[in-house]
């Protein structure tokens, strides 16, 4: 009798345990399916990974918007290539929108697909490889946001070596239609047709650079020339004869009016500018040539 009751009790307990086991397996299977759906939305990308990528794209979108709104883009690249950056910004914006839409769809599925939508906030579960890769991609944008860009100055020009020779090929000179010409135009013209420039009055814009070898009555008028971006910038400069050269500060932007001269005692690059007037000006929007 006792054995039967015990046996029956055991049978009952076994039945209950079997039910608990089935419930546990069902819950485990449900959680596994939920995690599987969470981690493999959008072709193998988890919701957390999508959120990380959207954040990276958002930072780049903010950076591009800032450099355009503050007119800082020409501190990075040649003005003729600005449209390429604008096109890149457009594609970044499209990628950001597409990623945010993927985040929305993934979060809806993770929330049970109940039609309520919204982003579900879960603990981040991002593979280490994905996280490190995203940080490497993100670092340049963060540096761009943290530091205000500055154009190259006289210190950089001195280290790279100032020369009056054109650092890039200059096409054959067109007729001079304005008294104000660039230093690059002057350098190219002196290499091709020096007789058109020597002795003539012109106006040039650049920043001031001092050197002990020039003495107290001379300074360098400098502009950086770039082929693509600031990384390949080459300083182009001419000596300027000016009695009050010492009063000018390094990196001060000026407009120099005067005529081009040729020094007979110089064999390397004999051309210079004899200034009749030096006027301080604001830094131009595009500091590079």
**pLDDT tens track for 120-161:** 444 567 777 888 888 898 998 888 888 888 888 888 888 888
More confident residue, 213 or 255: 255
In the structure encoding, which two tokens stand for residue 219, read together? 């300074």
- Strand pairing category for 271-280 and 234-241: parallel
What angle in degrees, to the nearest 10, is found between the helix axes of 47-69 and 82-110? 150
State residue 42's pLDDT score. Answer: 42
User: Is domain 154-280 classified as CATH 2.40.50.140?
Assistant: yes
Cα distance between residue 100 and residue 52, in whole Å? 11
- Strand pairing category for 201-209 and 271-280: unpaired
Average pLDDT, integer, range 57-62:
92
Cα distance between residue 11 and residue 196, in whole Å? 113
State residue 10's pLDDT score. Answer: 41
> To the nearest whole number, what is the mean pLDDT of the chain?
79
Burial of residue 282 (CB within 10 Å: 0-12, 13-18, 19+) is exposed
State residue 173's pLDDT score. Answer: 60
State residue 4's pLDDT score. Answer: 40
Percent of the chain clearing pLDDT 70 (strictly above): 76
For the full predicted model, state whether its pTM sits above 0.85. Answer: no
**pLDDT tens track for 263-285:** 887 767 899 999 999 999 999 98
Percent of the chain clearing pLDDT 90 (strictly above): 31
State residue 37's pLDDT score. Answer: 42
Domain boundaries, the chain: 1-39, 46-146, 154-280
Say if CB 193 and CB 173 are below 8 A apart: yes
Identify the top-confidence range among 25-34, 48-57, 113-122, 216-225. 216-225
In this structure, of 165-169, 179-183, 239-243, the range with the lowest mean pLDDT score is 165-169
């Amino acid at each position: 009798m006792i054995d039967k009751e015990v046996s029956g009790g055991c049978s009952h307990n076994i039945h209950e345990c079997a039910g608990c086991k089935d419930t546990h397996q069902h819950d485990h299977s449900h959680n596994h399916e939920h995690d599987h759906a969470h981690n493999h939305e959008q072709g193998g990308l988890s919701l957390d990974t999508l959120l990380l990528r959207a954040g990276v794209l958002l930072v780049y979108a903010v950076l591009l918007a800032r450099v355009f709104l503050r007119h800082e883009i020409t501190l990075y690249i040649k003005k003729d290539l600005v449209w390429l950056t604008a096109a890149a910004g457009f594609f970044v914006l499209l990628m950001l929108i597409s990623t945010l839409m993927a985040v929305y769809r993934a979060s809806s599925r993770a929330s049970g697909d109940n039609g309520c939508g919204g982003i579900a906030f879960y603990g981040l579960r991002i593979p280490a490889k994905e996280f490190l890769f995203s940080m490497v991609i993100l670092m340049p944008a963060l540096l761009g946001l943290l530091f205000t860009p500055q154009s190259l100055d006289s210190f950089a020009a001195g280290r790279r070596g100032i020369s009056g020779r054109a650092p890039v090929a200059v096409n054959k000179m067109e007729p001079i239609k304005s008294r104000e010409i660039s230093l690059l135009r002057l350098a190219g013209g002196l290499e091709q047709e020096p007789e058109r420039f020597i002795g003539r009055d012109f106006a040039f814009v650049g920043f001031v650079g001092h050197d002990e070898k020039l003495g107290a009555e001379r300074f360098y008028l400098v502009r950086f020339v770039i082929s693509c971006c600031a990384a390949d910038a080459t300083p182009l400069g001419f000596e300027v004869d000016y009695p009050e050269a010492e009063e000018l500060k390094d990196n001060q932007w000026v407009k120099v009016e005067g005529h081009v001269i040729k020094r007979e005692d110089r064999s390397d690059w004999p051309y210079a500018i004899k200034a009749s007037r030096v006027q301080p000006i604001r830094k131009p929007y595009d500091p590079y040539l």
